[in-house]
Structure 1
């Protein structure tokens, strides 16, 4: 069985899309030299990021205001 399971990971976030973005951003941070927050046998950044999310070591925060402002600006006629 693969650990962590998708079911376990989805309990930590609100959607599969959020999971992909969170893992991607954290993996980039690890590649850029940020320290790992969990001990894992793998040195692959994506695997480390997935394990950090599964263990609750990292989370995410939605910024709805920024998204609304961007949407509003794109609908303004030029």
Structure 2
């Protein structure tokens, strides 16, 4: 059995959300997208935010980070707003 289970991980991520708002993670699919994105960041050189045990793979590290609350998932509306405020690079 995989630990944490999908249900435990989804419940942990959505913990503390307003009841009026839609949950940040509502399906296994959105959970897989979020963890794979974080795993790619780790592969790309980002420092893990949890203690890494010998032999842990990037995806396992990403799942552990989310389960321990070290990484937060932004709702899609916040991600879009954040992208709009970024300045475009100047190409000369």
TM-score by length of 1: 0.71
Q: C-alpha distance in 2, partners of 1:2/1:18?
A: 18
State the distance in 2 between where 1:7 and 1:40 align.
23
Supply the distance in 2 between the matched residues of 1:2 and 1:64 (Cα, whole angstroms): 31
Deviation for aligned residue 1:2: 3.0
- For structure 2, the 5+ residue unaligned runs are 14-24, 81-92
Q: Which of 28, 49, 52 is matched with 2:62 structurally?
A: 49
3-state SS of 2:4 partner:
coil
Normalising to structure 2: TM-score of the pair? 0.62
3-state DSSP of counterpart to 2:52: coil
Say which structure is richer in helix.
Answer: 1
Any stretches of 5+ residues in structure 1 without a counterpart?
A: 67-78
Q: 1:21-52: per-residue Cα shift (whole Å, max 9, x none)?
A: 11011000000000000013243000000000
Q: Choose between structure 1 and 2 for higher RCO, CA contacts under 8 A separated by at least 6 residues.
A: 1
Q: Following the alignment from structure 1 to structure 2, what is the Cα–Cα distance between the partners of residues 16 and 22?
A: 10
**Number of residue pairs matched?**
66
Deviations 1:47-72 (A, max 9, x none): 00000011011111123384xxxxxx
Structure 1 equivalent of residue 46 of structure 2 = 34
